[in-house]
């Protein structure tokens, strides 16, 4: 039996060597996700840095000198226009007002006597009992007394104003800062150092820095009613202020050194969440570009020299490499001004598996792969294949 078995094995080996090898199976085209380029409208959004400032600021300084007797407000609180803030010692001012009041009374008494004398002398002149010169002197003295009364009354009014200034009141409504003086401090009229500061925080101003060229374009957009004067503010923590700011153009000038201008927007601040000095990002709708091409950013790559390129499915489903000209980013898309046209199929999924000139199977980006393709690529064998394998094993 051993020789017969050896002969059979040799015959089987010879038959296997004589059988030609099966040709390799052709690879199916790679399936890629494509985005069909279409013309659409793109909003021109500008995001510019800005800084908040109070709409009104009042530095409180004394207009009369004296000792501070009382501080009549709570630091950091909101005060209203006309609310008392400080009380300066009014003793000297009251004495001055009293002196001027007495001077007015004296001038009024002298005026009354002068008028009586002038009236009497006028009657005597009419009766030829007094010379004209004396009568005219009496009339002039009465007019002088009237002027003295007016001067005394003005001095009393001035003293009264100074006395009222001893009680310092808020000129505007707003939030008041920390006081720089305490009761007992000596202050002087119109001193350099402010006692405190009041800032009006509702509404607030937003100062936005922008180039002069962009400002001219923005003016044209506003003139054509394609831009909005509404500005959205993004705070330092990434949150968005619920109220929109309104853009203004009054009082802008170009900085000769930087070529920029400072635009001013007004934003409501009813909750007081915005504070002066905070840095914000101002999102401005500067206009709308009509009929432009927007493509997803994941479909665009950069070369070593920084040029933008993309892979496009061309005729016969063959991959082509295109060099693109990009204008700006619009959200997560690029605005393309050259290299693509409406109807082109841009590859955005499966870029790592394809090369230029390769034939691919394009499907809409984001769609699921076909069932047939999944079955073809599945390593699970079919029923027929299992039977053949079992027979070979036997």
Q: Which string of DSSP letters, residue by residue, matches 98-159?
A: HHHHHHHHHHHHHHHHHHHHHHHHHHHHHTTSS-HHHHHHHHHHHHHHHHHHHHHHHHHHHH
In the block, tokens 């005597």 appear at 124
In this predicted structure, what is the pLDDT of residue 43? 75
Q: Which of 169-183, 241-255, 288-302 has the lowest mean pLDDT?
A: 241-255
Question: Do residues 235 and 210 touch, judged by C-beta distance below 8 A?
Answer: no
Sign of CA dihedral 76, 78, 80, 81: positive
CB 279 within 8 A of CB 51: yes
Phi, psi of 53, deg, nearest 5: -145, 155
SS3 306: coil
Say what angle helices 132-165 and 91-126 make with each other, to 10 degrees.
160
What's the pLDDT score for residue 376?
A: 36
Average pLDDT of 331-354?
90
Q: Which CATH number, 1.50.10.150, 2.60.40.10, 2.40.50.100, 3.65.10.10, labels domain 65-88+167-193?
A: 2.40.50.100
User: Which residues, including other chains, have CB under 8 Å from residue 239's CB and lie 6 or more apart?
Assistant: none
The 10 Å CB-count burial string (b at 16+, else e) for 358-391 is eebbbbebeeeeeeeeeeeeeeeeeeeeeeeeee
Q: How far is Cα 121 from Cα 136, in angstroms, rounded to an integer?
A: 8
Q: The pTM is what? A: 0.59
User: Confidence class of residue 46 from pLDDT cuts 50, 70 and 90?
Assistant: confident
Tokens of 228: 């909005």
45-55+200-288, CATH topology level: Elongation Factor Tu (Ef-tu); domain 3 (2.40.30)
> Does CATH place domain 90-165 in 1.10.10.60?
no
Within 10 angstroms of residue 250's Cβ, the number of other Cβ atoms is: 6
For the stretch 225-251, pLDDT in tens is 555 678 889 998 889 999 999 887 655
Secondary structure of residue 206 in the 3-state scheme: strand
How do the domains of the chain map onto residue ranges?
Answer: 30-42+291-367, 45-55+200-288, 65-88+167-193, 90-165
Within this chain, domains 45-55+200-288 and 90-165 share the same CATH topology: no
Is the pLDDT confidence value at 355 over 80? yes
Compare 376 and 303 and report the one with higher pLDDT.
Answer: 303
Separation between Cα atoms, residue 181 and residue 73, nearest integer Å: 13
Kindly state the tokens that stand for 365.
Answer: 């980006």
Could you tell me the fold of the domain covering 30-42+291-367? Answer: 2.40.420
What's residue 45's pLDDT? Answer: 72
């Amino acid at each position: 039996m051993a020789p017969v078995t050896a002969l059979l094995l040799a015959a089987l080996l010879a038959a296997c060597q004589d059988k030609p090898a099966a040709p390799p199976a052709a690879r199916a085209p790679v399936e890629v996700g494509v985005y069909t380029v279409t013309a659409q409208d793109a909003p021109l959004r500008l995001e510019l840095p800005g800084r908040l400032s109070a709409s009104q600021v009042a530095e409180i300084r004394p207009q009369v000198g004296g000792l501070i007797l009382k501080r009549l407000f709570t630091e950091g609180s909101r005060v209203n226009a006309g609310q008392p803030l400080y009380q300066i010692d009014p003793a000297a001012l009251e004495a001055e007002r009293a002196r001027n009041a007495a001077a007015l009374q004296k001038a009024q008494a002298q005026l009354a006597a002068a008028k009586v004398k002038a009236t009497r002398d006028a009657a005597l002149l009419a009766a030829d009992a007094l010379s004209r010169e004396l009568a005219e002197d009496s009339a002039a003295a009465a007019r002088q007394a009237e002027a003295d009364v007016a001067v005394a009354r003005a001095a009393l009014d001035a003293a009264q104003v100074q006395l009222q200034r001893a009680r310092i009141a808020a000129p505007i409504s707003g939030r008041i800062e920390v006081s720089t003086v305490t009761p007992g401090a000596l202050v002087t009229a119109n001193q350099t150092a402010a006692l405190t500061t009041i800032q009006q925080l509702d509404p607030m101003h937003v100062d936005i820095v922008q180039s002069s060229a962009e400002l001219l374009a923005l003016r044209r957009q506003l003139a054509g009613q394609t831009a909005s004067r509404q500005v959205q503010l993004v705070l330092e923590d990434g949150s968005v202020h619920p109220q929109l700011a309104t853009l203004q153009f009054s009082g802008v000038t170009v900085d000769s050194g930087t070529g920029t201008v400072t635009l001013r927007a007004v934003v409501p601040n009813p909750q007081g969440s915005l504070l002066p000095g905070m840095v914000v990002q101002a999102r401005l709708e500067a206009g709308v570009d009509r009929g432009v091409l927007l493509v997803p950013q994941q479909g665009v790559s950069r070369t070593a020299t920084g040029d933008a390129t993309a892979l496009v499915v061309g005729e016969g489903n063959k991959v082509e490499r295109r060099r693109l000209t990009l204008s700006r980013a619009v959200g997560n898309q690029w605005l393309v001004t050259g290299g693509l046209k409406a109807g082109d199929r841009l590859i955005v999924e499966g870029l790592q598996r394809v090369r230029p000139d390769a034939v691919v199977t394009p499907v809409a980006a984001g769609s699921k792969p076909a069932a047939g393709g999944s079955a073809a690529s599945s390593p699970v064998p079919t029923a027929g294949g299992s039977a053949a394998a079992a027979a070979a094993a036997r």
